[in-house]
């Protein structure tokens, strides 16, 4: 049984679809210390897609317009996933900070493992 991770933030984001028309679709998003989970149609009952921070390279390409902040999550296999959020919500900052925290903890674990091996 999978343990529930502590939720850092939960709310709505818009994700650009991969379809020909590249429409913006609202997603319920749950940010934890290890991942970002996306649920279609704003319901956690539906099967969500989890982006583990181990598979995310960076949050990139932040652009602010009058109404929205646009940003891109780049995965380690170079896939780009585009999002937008209302200007004042700062989802991009929340995701970036959680990702940095995850990467720092992983780097410390790797360093300690190498020291123990020597």
CATH number at residue 72: 2.30.29.30
How far apart CA 40 and CA 26 sit, in angstroms, is: 7
How far apart CA 102 and CA 106 sit, in angstroms, is: 6
How many folded domains does the chain comprise? 1
pLDDT of residue 106: 92
Q: Is residue 1 part of a domain?
A: no
How far apart CA 19 and CA 31 sit, in angstroms, is: 25
pLDDT of residue 3: 54
Q: Is residue 77 part of a domain?
A: yes
Which residue range(s) make up the domain with 40? 7-117
Q: Is residue 83 part of a domain?
A: yes
pLDDT of residue 42: 64
Q: Is residue 34 part of a domain?
A: yes
Overall pTM surpassing 0.75 (yes/no): yes
69: which residues sit within 8 A by CB, 6+ positions away? 62, 63, 84, 85, 86, 87, 89, 90, 91, 92
How far apart CA 3 and CA 10 sit, in angstroms, is: 18
Tokens, residue 38: 């996306």
* Per-residue pLDDT tens listing for the chain (118 residues): 355 679 999 999 999 988 778 899 999 999 999 999 999 866 676 678 999 999 999 999 788 888 999 999 999 999 999 999 998 888 999 999 999 999 999 999 989 888 887 7
């Amino acid at each position: 049984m999978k343990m529930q991770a502590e939720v850092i933030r939960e709310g709505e984001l818009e994700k650009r679809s991969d379809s020909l028309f590249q429409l913006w679709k609202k997603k319920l998003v749950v940010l934890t210390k290890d991942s970002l989970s996306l649920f279609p149609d704003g319901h956690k009952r539906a099967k969500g897609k989890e982006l583990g921070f181990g598979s995310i390279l960076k949050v990139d390409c932040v652009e602010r317009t009058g109404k929205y902040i646009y940003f891109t999550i780049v995965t380690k296999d170079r896939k780009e996933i585009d999002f937008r959020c209302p200007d004042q919500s700062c989802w991009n900052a929340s995701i970036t900070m959680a990702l940095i925290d995850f990467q720092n903890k992983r780097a410390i674990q790797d360093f300690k493992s190498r020291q123990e091996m020597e």
